[in-house]
Amino acid sequence: MDLRGWLRSKMVLLVLGLLAFACGKKEDGSGPIKIGHFASMTGAQATFGISTDRAIQLAIKERNAKGGVKGRMIEVKTIDDAGKQSEAATAVTRLINDYGAVAILGEVASSLSLAGGPIAQKSKIPMISPSSTNPDVTSIGDYVSRVCFLDDFQGWVVAKFAFENLKAKKAAILYDQAQAYSSALGKFFEQSWKEMGGEITVKAAYTGGNLEISSQLQQLAGSESDVIFLPGYYSDAATIIRKAREQGIKAVFIGGDGWDSEELHKIAGNALDGNYFANHYSPLEDRPEVKNFVEKYRAEYKAEPDGLAALGYDAALLLFDAMDRAKSLAGPDLRDAINSTKNFTGVTGTFSIDAKRNAKKSAVIIEIKDGKQRIAARVEKK
């Protein structure tokens, strides 16, 4: 290579380096406001990430059409973590260090928020989880908050419904030992169930994604349970329910928010009928906020917004509201604004961020009948 060629190649490297630096530039009060989203856009929980991301994009589009935040447009970068813990941590690092996000939205799955949260905390960049319900998520620190209810509440909600409404007395629990969400929710249900005077027949575990569970199903079949609590994510839950029915297990299955996906219906089909799960909201609710959101989401995506979408939308709106109030978009100022949110009204209800950065919310119980969902009960926050 001659000298000129050598110089040219060095120049190209320099320009590329400057460009990378400019794109990853930190918040300086100009240009678009950057928000990072880490989500399972692929993998076994793909509908969680896709629904959440669609709702966030919708919230941003609407806000930008009204002039953005602090007179600046909002921009989001989404990194797919494929539902894996190691990738969740890397995604948050990249969103903060390379992209220059002023705030992070995510994750849905509690284990993934537990993996990504410590990085946001260390970097002093606020992270709002739309839908991670495990209590430990916000214990990470003062930069991590959420807009959904917690699993101690959710476990109680499901137990109360099964005990009082279904008049069940004997319950089995089958939980996913690989997910913080599932194992803790199983425990919370068990505690509430026993306090109410219910009996636990069987407590068994499986590992998400690996459904060789014939011995667990045998245990369940021999247990004479009225209900089987299955606090897993939708793809496993749907397959388990289908297999259980094929083996003649007749107990009613009850689940948590992790069932919330259209895929649940696609995988389990008829086997879903007569079962129930707790959720954060239903598109069938009549509140004006719900109707308005459902209409806009349908128009945009030709799809029904599930609970993930509603919570993703609320997390984004709460973040914009905090940005409006924050002294600046620097981490500590934005954190203070998020953490002092009071009486925020979103699609999923009216709530405040409490001293532990959690939200108190009501829950709905969804019944599946003839392949369709209906609201069986509403359980108020406590």
From 271, 269, 224, 217, select the one nearest 247 (Cα to Cα): 217
Q: How many CB atoms lie within 10 A of CB 189?
A: 28
228 with 250: CB under 8 angstroms? no
Q: Nearest distance from residue 155's CB to ligand PHE, in Å?
A: 12
Q: Nearest distance from residue 321's CB to ligand PHE, in Å?
A: 21
Nearer to ligand PHE, 256 or 331 (CB): 256
Q: Nearest distance from residue 167's CB to ligand PHE, in Å?
A: 27
Q: Nearest distance from residue 268's CB to ligand PHE, in Å?
A: 16
Give whole-number Cα distances, 124 to 36, 332, 347, in Å.
Answer: 14, 7, 28
Nearer to ligand PHE, 74 or 318 (CB): 318
Q: Nearest distance from residue 12's CB to ligand PHE, in Å?
A: 45
State which residue has the least CB distance to ligand PHE: 181
Nearer to ligand PHE, 74 or 128 (CB): 128
Residues of this chain that interact with ligand PHE (CB under 6 A) are: 48, 108-110, 131-134, 181, 257-258, 260, 307-308
Nearer to ligand PHE, 201 or 261 (CB): 261
Distance, CA of 131 to CA of 266 (rounded, Å): 23
Nearer to ligand PHE, 228 or 308 (CB): 308
Identity at 266, one-letter amino acid code: K
Distance, CA of 312 to CA of 330 (rounded, Å): 22
CB burial string 276-292: b at 16+ within 10 A, e below: bbbbbbbbebeeebbee
Phi-psi region of 68 (alpha: psi -120 to 50; beta: other; left: phi over 0): left
Q: Nearest distance from residue 79's CB to ligand PHE, in Å?
A: 18
Nearer to ligand PHE, 237 or 329 (CB): 237
213 with 89: CB under 8 angstroms? no
